[in-house]
Structure 1
Amino acid sequence: MFLWGVAGSGYQAEGSAPASNWSRHASGYRDSVDFLHRYPEDIALAADLGVRVFRWCVEWARVQPTPGKWDFSFYDDVMSRVRAAGMRPMITLDHWVYPAWAGGWRQATMLADWLANAEKVVGRYAGDGSMWITFNEPVVYMAQEIRLGSFDPRMPVRLVRAHRRAYRMIHSHDPDAMVSSNTAYLPLVSHGSDLAFLAWVADTLDFVGIDYYYDVRPGNLTAVYATAGELWRIDPEPKGIYHALRGYARRFPKLPLYVVENGMPTDNGRPRADGYTRSDHLRDHVYWVLRARSEGVNVIGFNYWSLTDNFEWGSYRPRFGLYTVDVETDPELVRRPTDAVAAYREIIAAGGLPAGYRPLR
């Protein structure tokens, strides 16, 4: 069965953020879209789409705000509601955020502290079909630590060790669990960047998780805008997801593939100047995912990033949400459906696109 899902992360959407490595960088954070208090509504919105997978992060800084003090009450209810709605949790252990007290990956104690948290989370939520992501986009995680001045040359080795031990930990609790660490597809350099992490953990992956947002081709070099954070200026390349999937299938022929993240940013929710809509983007990318699958590529799932708009690591300007939320101007934080909500609901109900659909791009 092909798995349709939605994705999000803790820090980017929860609000009321505890002290963490990101606290000092989050000017203008406000309370994000306040998933912390509005999660019943958001889980219901996801279920109404018909998705089978709900990806979220159990934020270490929230469950262990100080050493030795644990509180899982929030996530207990999140997981209970997700399962009650008939969705499988896809649980991320680390989405670039750690408690302020932990000190980061330059600390000799970080690996043991990280694994202690992982043991608590895994022991609590393993089973019942839960899927797992150990580290979100580890190469980009390292790049973020460099940008923020917190990188240590030992970080790559420590991430690899943490993933491998977490993989064994998860399988000791649930032998049938599906575990991965999603990799960001980076145009032109993904094969090389994956050597920094993915290649070292390939024997401890149950599927290859892929995040695809953009590509380059002759005549379209707009992916360069990603370096300035102006993601809305990138011209989408839907067919690139097809080539990315085929490439990962060749490199990891024994592993299924899962599109853990795919979506389109707009500039503060404004329509694109070229008229290409969120629903166009969704349908075109689904077309190429299913095209790869029809040709024998073992793609088992697709998550849309993201269910709602969120804090994009410094700004609310890039809007990725199926439901848009005006964090900076709307004190009620109303979830307003974009055109892609109806499109995704139709895709999921039909198990794909109408016969004869051809991508606009």
Structure 2
Amino acid sequence: MPAWSNNAFLWGVATSGYQSEGGYNGPDEPKNNWFHSETHGNVMPTGKAAEFWSRYEEDFHTCQQMGLNAFRMSLEWARIQPSTSAEPVSAPPFDVAALDAYSDRIAACRRAGLEPIVTLHHFTHPAWLGIDAWLHEETVACFVEYVQVSVTHINRRLTDYHQLPPIRWYITTNEPNILVPNTYLSGMFPAGTTRGLTPFIRAYNLLLAAHIHAYNLIHDIYEEAGWEFPQVSLNTYCSDLYWSEKMIWDVLSLRQQAVKFTELQDYACANAKQFEVEISKANLPFRHNLPYRFGQLARHVSNWLGRRNFDVSHLSYCLQVLEASPRLQVFDYLALDYYDPFLAHIFRLPLFSDFEFKTKDFRGWLMSGITSKWWDWRSLPEGLHFFCQFYSREFGSAVGQVHCPVLIAENGMAIRRKPDNSIATRRSDQMLRSEYLKAHVYQVKRLVQEGIPMLGYLHWSMTDNYEWGSYTPRFGLFSIDFAQGSNRLVEDHLGDRPSETYTQLIREFRNEFTELSRIGIETADVNLQ
């Protein structure tokens, strides 16, 4: 197995098309499943977003100047197979010009010295599929066709026209454990009239099946073309609720663990108990204040509901697809998004002045006041260390290794600034993004020193962007004054310059591990086949 490589470690940023490109849901623009929410005023319209579609070369150059070597971006299904109709219709033709444009942007990414990490589905789908697309099996077939056409066309243009290697890194579906509950439980994402556990379970079932199909399809395409073995996974939002996240990886690795599908019920319950033990052993430094204690109660209730309601039959479609998979392995690495994964942090002291979504009843108004917002998410960098090392150890056998390679596909923190600048405040914990970066990159360094096969760290995000209904949460290394346009600003409204901090942290990391290599200290072994 080749030794962990300082030069190969992926330092980068993560973005998504709908959140950063601009050009969706307006007149004569591609429509996606957020169209009705935008036009009905339930959320802010995306408009031009961060204008990445037209400023990509500038952004790639900036990343290169910072010393980054990776850039995560998404393909937008609604742009590639577009319809200007907001109503369900039959599948329209694929737009070759859009496919060429994505291939050209990926080529520009490579020429800037950045490894493209390409997400195929980042929360959105074309409006022509209907708002509740992931409740219908036909969507899986449509998604598979979209993957087939996109992966083949974009890579053929990369290799034949641009004379560049094909894409190596893929994420099939972004955070299914956020997409599904936000759509069918919390109501933060658009849905039809149906919400509740039944559509929640149905959507999970189909999304995981779609990942398995996409994983095999991408590998088939590469094998047939004679291209280098691709690295394909999905990414999950780290959660300390077993039924929300770890169960996904457990289900996908059932066959490698030699667990019969009929044993899944007992297997999942046993793993849920063990997960609780591991979290307790980690002895993470929680702040045991009043909101935390209420949050812990909510967590215990959620765990009980998970055990009580889990039924193997709920995943029958996914398990059928998994059983029929020609490959035992259905992910090549773990892609983890780390923000605030602890359910006990769900509550805050009541505050009713920072709502971003319309509420139509007293209950909604009350819950919005006592539940944490983006800028309330707690910083607990030790948790990043826990999830990466525990999952890497747990799922090594799923990829035929002692430890499974881990990519931190997203990590970031929000500060609050309205797009019209009417409100621009500090976080309640007073933390700056530079401080957050230092604390979390330190944990990455710990993981590498301990021999965990870390593939890379991607910060969310390069610039402020559209955060699922609002421009107020600011996650960017570069700030944008949306009232003035989309210029990238080095300094945010708090006087912090996080892009410079990130640049310095990367330089220090590389220098330190270059010195360790020089004196013969080995780090992790990573087998990327």
**Common fold by TM > 0.5:** yes
CA distance in 2, matches of 1:195, 1:209: 12
| 1:145 Cα offset (Å) | 2.3
TM-score, normalisation: structure 2: 0.62
Contact 1:133/1:182, CA 8 A, preserved across alignment: yes
1:205 maps to what in 2?
A: 331
Contact 1:138/1:197, CA 8 A, preserved across alignment: no
| 1:73-98 alpha-carbon deviations (Å, 9 max, x no partner) | 43122112101111111000000100
Aligned residues: 348
| 1:272 Cα offset (Å) | 3.4
Contact 1:208/1:257, CA 8 A, preserved across alignment: yes
CA distance in 1, matches of 2:173, 2:105: 20
2:452 paired residue among 297, 301, 308:
297
2:53 maps to what in 1?
A: 36
| 1:353 Cα offset (Å) | 8.3
1:281 maps to what in 2?
A: 436
Gaps of at least 5 residues in structure 2 are: 1-7, 25-29, 84-91, 156-164, 223-227, 254-328, 349-367, 418-423, 492-496, 514-529
CA distance in 2, matches of 1:47, 1:37: 18
For 2:378, the aligned partner's letter is: D
CA distance in 1, matches of 2:63, 2:109: 9
| 1:246 Cα offset (Å) | 1.9
| 1:324 Cα offset (Å) | 0.8
| 1:37 Cα offset (Å) | 1.8
| 1:311-348 alpha-carbon deviations (Å, 9 max, x no partner) | 11011111000011122x22x22110141111111222
1:230 maps to what in 2?
A: 373
| 1:35-83 alpha-carbon deviations (Å, 9 max, x no partner) | 1222222222222222111101100001110311323243122112101
1:241 maps to what in 2?
A: 384
1:7 maps to what in 2?
A: 14
| 1:223 Cα offset (Å) | 4.6
1:69 correspondence with 2:81: no
Contact 1:160/1:200, CA 8 A, preserved across alignment: no
1:333 maps to what in 2?
A: 486
112-121 or 221-230, larger mean C-alpha shift: 221-230
2:31 maps to what in 1?
A: 19
2:474 paired residue among 310, 314, 319:
319
1:52 maps to what in 2?
A: 69
1:98 correspondence with 2:251: no
| 1:255-284 alpha-carbon deviations (Å, 9 max, x no partner) | 201100001111116443544221111011
1:133 correspondence with 2:149: no
CA distance in 1, matches of 2:508, 2:135: 49
For 1:200, the aligned partner's letter is: V
1:359 maps to what in 2?
A: none
CA distance in 1, matches of 2:438, 2:346: 21
1:109 correspondence with 2:138: yes
1:193 maps to what in 2?
A: 244
2:506 maps to what in 1?
A: 348
Matches within 5 A, 1:240-259: 240-253=383-396, 254=401, 255-259=404-408
Which is higher, the Rg of structure 1 or of structure 2?
2
Contact 2:411/2:460, CA 8 A, preserved across alignment: yes
Contact 1:306/1:320, CA 8 A, preserved across alignment: yes
TM-score, normalisation: structure 1: 0.89
2:225 maps to what in 1?
A: none
1:169 paired residue among 185, 197, 217:
217
CA distance in 1, matches of 2:429, 2:94: 51
CA distance in 1, matches of 2:377, 2:473: 11
1:157 correspondence with 2:205: yes
For 1:35, the aligned partner's letter is: F
1:306 paired residue among 461, 466, 469:
461
CA distance in 1, matches of 2:453, 2:250: 19
For 1:345, the aligned partner's letter is: T
CA distance in 1, matches of 2:509, 2:175: 28
What is the DSSP-based 3-state SS (H/G/I as helix, E as strand, rest coil) of the residue aligned with 2:347? helix
- What percentage of aligned pairs have identical amino acids? 32
193-202 or 90-99, larger mean C-alpha shift: 193-202
CA distance in 2, matches of 1:57, 1:192: 27
1:358 maps to what in 2?
A: none
| 1:2-58 alpha-carbon deviations (Å, 9 max, x no partner) | 111110001111111121101122342232112122222222222222211110110
CA distance in 1, matches of 2:167, 2:202: 34
| Residues 304 and 123 of structure 1, relative CA distance in 2, 3 Å threshold | same
Contact 2:135/2:206, CA 8 A, preserved across alignment: no
Bigger strand share: 1
CA distance in 1, matches of 2:461, 2:147: 24
1:263 maps to what in 2?
A: 412
Contact 1:210/1:261, CA 8 A, preserved across alignment: yes
For 1:323, the aligned partner's letter is: F
| Residues 199 and 232 of structure 1, relative CA distance in 2, 3 Å threshold | same
Bigger helix share: 2
CA distance in 2, matches of 1:77, 1:228: 42
| 1:118 Cα offset (Å) | 0.6
